[in-house]
Each structure stands twice: as structure tokens, then as C-alpha cells.
Amino acid sequence: MANYSGIFSVIVTVDGIQFNVAVDGSGGWSLNYTTVRTGSVSVVVGLFGHGNFSDFSNSTTFTVVKNSTNSTVVVSPNPVSIGNNVTVSGVLANFTGISGVNVTVDGTLFNVPVDGSGYWVLNYTTNRTGNLTVGVGFAGNDNYTSFTNSTNFTVNVVNKSSTNSTIVVSPNSVQIGENVTVSGVLANFTGISGVNVTVDGTIFNVPVDGSGYWVLNYTTNRTGNLTVGVGFAGNDNYTSFTNSTNFTVNVVNKSSTNSTIVVNPDSVNFGENITVSGVLANHTGIGFVNVTVDGTLFNVAVDASGYWELNYTTNRTGTDLEVIVSFAGNENYTAFSNSTTFNVTKLAVNSTINVSGTVKVGKTITIDGVLVDENGSVVANALVSVSVGGKVYSLKTDNRGRWSLTYKPTHVGSVNTVLNYAGNNKYFSYTNTTTFNVVKGKVIVDVDVVKNSDGSADVIAKVTDEDNDPIPNYKVSVELDGKHFGYIVTDVNGVGRIHIPSNKLNDGNHVITVISDDKNYNDNPVSAEFKTQNNDNDNNDTNGTNKANNSSVATAAMKNTGMPIIAIVLVLLTIFGIGIRRKED
């Protein structure tokens, strides 16, 4: 200090920690300080409240960098036998502020505390043989860098150790369906986590606890003398072993059992599903029951609660169809049989009969309909018969349930139509009837007038309906010049003719009128006017020639007769022939 007479101490503050430091006879002062962290550390020296000197303060800084540290690793004893303990320990080189280190033994991590001298220690029980690695590490902090260090030790086994287990079955004599406790204790068990326990042929993997104890609860499901075995397959440290015992499951008298039967729904239509189910009264050890539905046998599984269930699709109709559930019995239970019934009914069907528009004689119509069941589902590929006016037609519905018939009325009046469906094992029979009225149709008459070489003429009529089909046996009246001359009746081809002798045809104009005379078609006369000349009614040539052949009239085309036509048609169609086509309303 520059002036220090009478000053015996100063206040020194290091990194926030205050110290009272003595001043010697030469004005010097000194403080030893152990760093506790890294980074920049401030130092402040000051004098405060002295009677002879004014207060002062002075400061500086110094830097503390991270220190390195490490640890020894000692395993004692080394080597060691399987199941024995080792002590793993060490001392940190620098440890101030370090409270713990991470120690890993054979892959298992432990957090081990460090005491005030930097010492740490871990006790470890060996559980396998071989060369095992021990590592000690510190992750580092603000003051120390990280480190790791490791060593190895050996766990030896000259000969594998033997082990075995007791077996206790309690109680040793039980009734069917009761529980037993199977347990035991291993003689040597270090590193053994489980044993295999077999009860009556069923194997269980049973855990071994920290004391070598294992236990299994087992529900008996048959009578007789049952074997229990416990075994260990062996490992690097222990040889394998098996041990066994027996216990008895008694039955004085066989137990009885039975089952409920529920059919849901109990009344269905053909093709619908039902659920047949039930619950066994006693079911321990019973895996299946026999269920017979309408004569068909099913083997149905029973679950852990005694419940069984069968889904069945009905395939025929009938009342009181039988369901039987039965069990044949075994060494534990007597046989039983139980039954109930259900009903399967046919489905009702219906069909429309459609007749479209106004129905006329000679005009083809379509009569159709759709066959559906009571649920609105179509009945496909079904045979139906349709009677129209007493004539029966056999039809088949398509994949949409539709049937169709083409029909041509032949007479006026009311026509009765009947649809019949005979039914089958799925559907009831069905009949539907309707009538429709047939009115007069339209007729088409073609008339040809052919003049023959002998002066005579032929009137040819062809009669067809609206479908252009010939109308046989159709009667028309023929008038010549306003007087009835005769009748034409059509043949199977709808064609008829009448002959007019030459003595009925004078020179001049003539009118042919064809009048319909049929109750089924509308009457509408068809007329044609034609002219003849040079017709000698009294002196016709017997050799078939006619004076008109030498006239200036052109020779006509040949008709079906092969004869030249000498008639002149004035009204409608052709020279030497008349073709009249009229469509009557």
C-alpha cells in the first residue's frame, strides 16, 4: 500500500466472496484462493471507514480455464466365478464439484456417487461367464472436461454348475374344474429368469423371481392322474435339468350339463339367415357341441364362457323345422340333447300386366309386366303363363323380372288377359287378371284392274293390315258402274279376284268400287274410273284377237296373265291396268 501507517487490514472480494486480509508492517497483504469455476473472475481490494484515510477501491480480473480429470478403475477380485461379487472402484484425479460418475459393467449403466476425497465404489454380482468390460466416465461440466476410462475382468467357470427345482402341487387331489397351484424353488438360480413347466402335456414358461421361486395357477379340465414337469434347457453357466411329479383329478360321479337354444328370428322367409345360439350350464373342458338344423349336422365351438353360435341360411320352407343341440358325453360329463323349432315361410309375389295405348285389330301390341316378391325384389328366370283371349303363352322372366309378349288382335271386343305363376319352394303361386278393349283396325286395300285380250277384265284385290301382314278371308263387295257385281274373299295370302266378262263392258268410262264388308275393320270404299273403246260385245274374235289391237293405243306391259292390256286407266295409276292403294281409316 502507498500509505499504510495505522492500516492493519483490507477487504478483498474474489468472485463475489469477501475476505478480511491482514496488512503487514511493510504495507503488503496476501490471500490464497482455490478456484471453483471456469471463466473470468473479478478481484476487488478496498478500505472503508478508516478514521485517518479516505476510502478506496481497486479491482482486477483473472481467467480460470477448464481442468482435466480422470479416474482409476480397479476390479477386485479379478478373475471371479459366476455368481460371485466384485468391487469396482476408483479415485478421481481432480474432483472438486464432481458429485458422481457413470460406471458401466457388462453393458449395464450405474450412476455412482463420488465422496469428498474423489473416491467411488460399486458392488456387482456376476451373472455370466466371459471377459467383461468395466467403463467409468464423466460427461464434463463448466469446470472439467469429459473423460472415459475402462478395464476388463474375467468371470470363469471351470465346470457348469448344476441346478434343480422342487415341485409342489397344492392341493394334490382335486375335482374336475378346480384350480391347483404348481410351484417350486431353484437350488441355484443366478441369471436364470424362467423355467418350463408342463402340466398334462401343456407347456408354460414361468418366470423365476429374485429368490429362485416360481409359481403357476392351473385349472383342471379332465379327470385322472396328471403329470407335472419342470425343466431348464441349460445355458453357459448351468447344466439342464428336468423334474416331475403327479397329482390326481377325481370325479366320483359324472357331472351333468345342458344348453339353452335360441333361434333368432324364429320365423323367417325362405333364403333369410337365422342365428342359432345357446349357453352350456357346465362347460369346463367342453370344446364343441353338435348342432343339427333341419337334418344338417354342424360341429360348433364353445367359447370360454360356455357360449356357442351358428349362422344358418334357410333353404326350404316349412313349419316346425327342428334344431337340436347335443353333446355325446365324456369322462367328465354325461350326454345331453335339447331341441326347439322354427318356421320358414314362402315369399308372396305379384306382377303388373301392362297393355299400352289404344288396341286395334291387326296392329301388333306388347303385353308385359314385372314379377317381384313382397320385398320388392325381382323374381328372375321364373316361368309364367299368360293367357290372352283364351290362348296360353309360356314365358320366362329376364334378370330384371320382366316378362313380355307380342300379340296381334284379330277381332274387336273385350279381351281377357290372365297371368299365372305356379310358385315354387321359395315363392307362393300368383294369378292376376285384366281386360283390354280392341277397336276396329285400319285396312290397306290394293286393287288392280287387268284388261284381257278377249275384252274382259279382272279385278284383283290385295288386303293387308297396318303391320303389312295379309288378311285372309277378308270379304269385299265389288260394284261396276254403281251396281253390285259380286264379292271377293281373300285367300291365305290376302289376295282375291273377280272376273268381269266382256259383255259387261261397253265402250266408254267405267267405275270400279271396292267396298269392305268386315266387322273388324273400318269401312271406306275405294273407287277407280277407267275407259274402254273398240270393244265389240257381240262379235268377239274367238282366236283371242281384238280390233283394238290395230288401234293407235300403245301396247301395255304384260301382267301376271302374260296378256297385253288394252285398257286405258283414266283415274289413278297406269295405262292398261289399274293399281289403287287406299288406306281405310
Indicate if the pLDDT at residue 468 is higher than 80. Answer: yes
Indicate if the pLDDT at residue 584 is higher than 70. Answer: no
Cα separation, 412 vs 362, whole angstroms: 10
Helix, strand and coil percent figures for the chain, each rounded to 5 = 0, 55, 45
Using pLDDT thresholds of 50, 70 and 90, give the confidence band for residue 579: very low
Tens digit of each residue's pLDDT (9 = 90 or more) over 33-91: 988 787 889 999 988 877 778 888 899 998 888 888 999 999 999 988 888 899 999 99
pLDDT at 549: 31
Q: What is the mean pLDDT of the chain?
A: 85
pLDDT at 284: 83
- Nearest Cα residue to 453 out of 538, 333, 377, 556: 556
Q: What is the DSSP letter of 363?
A: -
Q: Are 361 and 438 in contact (CB under 8 A)?
A: yes
Mean pLDDT lowest for which of 80-89, 118-127, 176-185, 562-571? 562-571
Who contacts 381 (Cβ-Cβ below 8 Å, separation ≥6)? 396, 397, 398, 399
Cα separation, 26 vs 4, whole angstroms: 8
Indicate if the pLDDT at residue 407 is higher than 90. Answer: yes
pLDDT at 575: 32
Tens digit of each residue's pLDDT (9 = 90 or more) over 481-502: 989 999 999 999 999 999 999 8
Using pLDDT thresholds of 50, 70 and 90, give the confidence band for residue 290: very high
| Residue 279: exposure state from Cβ atoms within 10 A (0-12, 13-18, ≥19) | middle
262-345 CATH fold: Immunoglobulin-like (2.60.40)
Residues β-bridged to residue 509: 531
Using pLDDT thresholds of 50, 70 and 90, give the confidence band for residue 332: confident
pLDDT at 39: 84
Sign of CA dihedral 358, 359, 363, 366: positive
pLDDT at 483: 92
Tens digit of each residue's pLDDT (9 = 90 or more) over 316-329: 888 889 999 999 98
Q: Are 359 and 409 in contact (CB under 8 A)?
A: yes
pLDDT at 251: 64
Cα separation, 443 vs 518, whole angstroms: 10
pLDDT at 535: 60
pLDDT at 366: 94
Mean pLDDT lowest for which of 89-98, 475-484, 514-523? 514-523
Who contacts 529 (Cβ-Cβ below 8 Å, separation ≥6)? 509, 510, 511, 512, 570, 571
Q: What is the mean pLDDT of residues 546-571?
A: 29
pLDDT at 128: 87
**Is the preceding omega at residue 79 within 30 degrees of 0, hence cis?**
yes
Q: Are 549 and 523 in contact (CB under 8 A)?
A: no
Q: What is the mean pLDDT of residues 170-189?
A: 89
CA 414, 495, 555 angle in degrees (round to 5)? 150
Who contacts 148 (Cβ-Cβ below 8 Å, separation ≥6)? 135, 136, 137, 138
Indicate if the pLDDT at residue 239 is higher than 90. Answer: no
Q: What is the mean pLDDT of residues 573-582?
A: 37
Using pLDDT thresholds of 50, 70 and 90, give the confidence band for residue 395: very high
Query: Homologous superfamily of 444-583 in CATH?
Result: Immunoglobulins (2.60.40.10)
Q: What is the mean pLDDT of residues 219-241?
A: 88
pLDDT at 124: 96
Using pLDDT thresholds of 50, 70 and 90, give the confidence band for residue 560: very low
Domain locations in the chain as residue ranges: 9-64, 74-156, 168-250, 262-345, 349-439, 444-583
Cα separation, 491 vs 462, whole angstroms: 9
- Nearest Cα residue to 381 out of 403, 398, 402, 394: 398
Indicate if the pLDDT at residue 557 is higher than 80. Answer: no
Q: What is the mean pLDDT of residues 116-131?
A: 92
Indicate if the pLDDT at residue 565 is higher than 70. Answer: no
**What are residue 232's phi and psi, to 5 degrees?**
-135, 130
Mean pLDDT lowest for which of 201-205, 283-287, 330-334, 551-555? 551-555
Cα separation, 5 vs 25, whole angstroms: 8
Cα separation, 119 vs 99, whole angstroms: 10
Indicate if the pLDDT at residue 544 is higher than 70. Answer: no
Cell of 185: 424353488
How many Cβ atoms sit within 10 Å of the Cβ of residue 5? Answer: 8
Mean pLDDT lowest for which of 91-95, 383-387, 403-407, 431-435? 91-95
Please compute Rg for the chain using Cα positions.
62
**The CATH number of the domain covering residues in 74-156:** 2.60.40.10
Q: Side-chain half-sphere of 307: how many Cα atoms within 13 Å?
A: 4
- Nearest Cα residue to 219 out of 237, 209, 204: 204
Q: Side-chain half-sphere of 374: how many Cα atoms within 13 Å?
A: 11
Cell of 29: 497483504
pLDDT at 506: 87
3-state class (DSSP) for residue 436: strand
168-250 CATH fold: Immunoglobulin-like (2.60.40)
Q: What is the mean pLDDT of residues 265-269?
A: 88
Determine how β-strand 354-355 pairs with β-strand 173-175.
Answer: unpaired
Tens digit of each residue's pLDDT (9 = 90 or more) over 79-118: 888 888 999 999 998 888 899 999 999 999 999 999 999 9
Q: What is the mean pLDDT of residues 234-242?
A: 85
Cell of 560: 301376271
Q: Side-chain half-sphere of 145: how many Cα atoms within 13 Å?
A: 8
Cα separation, 368 vs 233, whole angstroms: 82
Determine the residue type at 65: V
Which class in CATH covers the domain with range 349-439? mainly beta
- Nearest Cα residue to 332 out of 269, 285, 364: 285
Please give the share of the chain, as a percent, with pLDDT higher than 90. 52
Indicate if the pLDDT at residue 307 is higher than 60. Answer: yes
Cα separation, 502 vs 489, whole angstroms: 22
Q: Do domains 168-250 and 349-439 have the same CATH topology?
A: yes
Determine how β-strand 483-489 pairs with β-strand 147-156.
Answer: unpaired
Q: Are 347 and 374 in contact (CB under 8 A)?
A: yes
Using pLDDT thresholds of 50, 70 and 90, give the confidence band for residue 158: low
Cα separation, 264 vs 270, whole angstroms: 14
Determine the residue type at 388: V
Q: Side-chain half-sphere of 421: how many Cα atoms within 13 Å?
A: 30
Cα separation, 579 vs 557, whole angstroms: 13
